[in-house]
A = this chain, B = another copy of it.
Amino acid sequence: MPHDQQRTRIQRKNRQAILEAALDVFSQYGFRGATLDQIAQSAGLSKPNLLYYFPTKEAIHSALLSGLLGHWTAPLRSMNPDGDPVEEILTYVRRKLEMSREYPRESRLFANEVLQGAPHIGEMIQTEMKTLVDEKAAVIADWADQGRIPPLHPYHLIFSIWAMTQHYADFDTQVRATLGGADQDPFPEAETYLTTLFTRLLNP
């Protein structure tokens, strides 16, 4: 049973390759649309060998999602209650946008999952995720109460940051197609735009 912990060198390498391949495939086709053959081929393994490392398709998916959740929520987690409100929020926006540029597959993986009603991570959202958001929303509410930022609904403020930043990863195809010059990188302009938007929104 290699599933308890990553012991050997080979196990580490292959589990890593599988998760990498699975990220590719799941993020592009969703859970039901992805196939084990695709993942196995992309990882350079045979299908039975793949199933030697993970017992089921769901196990791969779960391992991916739970392993990524911490990384994905890091920018929000590092928002500092003692910092300058506008600066903290702007930094959060920029770091979140940077995540969309650097890790678009991760963004699409979560998007696919949530789109389908979050059947595999619904629990995680209701616990870990909600706890984090509750905490940070309280911080934002405090800032608003102190008059340091305008009185905006803290949860919807967070939602709008998620929406706008993840949009550039999840809907990359549409963004690029709409902007025309397909080779053009939309992210620099996006950062400028979002900085302007939140600066105007948060300063009195």
A interface residues (Cβ-Cβ under 8 A, vs B) = 28-33, 108, 111-112, 114-118, 122, 125-126, 129-130, 133-134, 150, 152-153, 155-157, 159-160, 162-164, 166-168, 170-171, 173-175, 177-180, 186, 189-190, 192-194, 196-197, 200-201
Interchain residue pairs with CB less than 8 A apart (10):
A118-B177, A152-B196, A156-B190, A159-B168, A159-B178, A160-B164, A163-B171, A164-B164, A197-B201, A200-B201
- Closest 5 A-B residue pairs measured CB to CB? A32-B33, A163-B167, A156-B193, A163-B163, A125-B177
**Could you tell me the dominant secondary structure of chain A's interface residues?**
helix
Q: List the number of copies, as a whole number.
A: 2
Sample of 13 further A-B pairs with CB below 8 A, known A30-B112, A155-B179, A163-B167: A28-B116, A29-B32, A30-B30, A32-B33, A111-B111, A122-B173, A122-B177, A125-B173, A133-B178, A150-B200, A159-B167, A159-B175, A159-B178
